[in-house]
Amino acid sequence: MSNPQNEKTSQMNESFQPGQQPDPMKSAMNPPPPMYGTSPSMQYQYQPYAGPPGAVPMQPQQTIFVTNVQSVNEPDYLGYSIFTLLCCFLPLGIAALIFSIKTQGANQQGDIVSARRYSRLALTLDHVALGLGIAWIVLAIILVIVFSTVAVTTVQQGNFGNFGNINP
């Protein structure tokens, strides 16, 4: 066996006559270029088929399946959901809005069962949010009336206790 290191040094240390150039193809720094005319590196099964000479290449027809999706007209209560989101009870309004949007998507896909379920859930959340919003407003009105009545009676009686200037 020959040592590749010895071959490289012998090629680099070759003696040559003055005026004669060393062959750059034999040096270890410049390996020979790949040979042309050899078989391509692609396997045969992946090479394109050009067909007979003069033939026009054509692509095969693609099969397209068109399905008619029947749209569903389940109500989505989007306006009601936006109203409860902005004016009544924010957390349930957000949930109702999400289910309203899901109802629209299920309507477009033709999924009757999901559209009906999301629509019912959005309506239920909207009703609960509206009820909580009305209850909150009524409670706030009652509290304002009670506190204002207590404040007026306190001022009319002049009973400020230790916090005012007037003592009974």
Q: Which residue has the tokens 């809005």?
A: 97
pLDDT level of residue 4 (50, 70, 90 thresholds): low
Continuous H helices in the chain: 4-12, 78-83, 90-109, 112-157
Q: What's the whole-number mean pLDDT along residues 157-166? A: 61
| Per-residue pLDDT tens over the stretch 79-119 | 999 999 999 999 999 999 999 999 999 999 889 999 999 99
| Per-residue pLDDT tens over the stretch 34-77 | 665 555 555 555 566 666 777 676 667 778 777 766 777 899 99
pLDDT more than 70, % of the chain: 58
| CB of 84 closer than 8 Å to CB of 99 | no
pTM (2 decimals)?
0.52
Domain ranges for the chain, please list them: 78-105+114-162
Burial group, residue 111, by CB count within 10 angstroms (0-12, 13-18, 19+): middle
Task: Quote the mean pLDDT of the chain.
Answer: 77
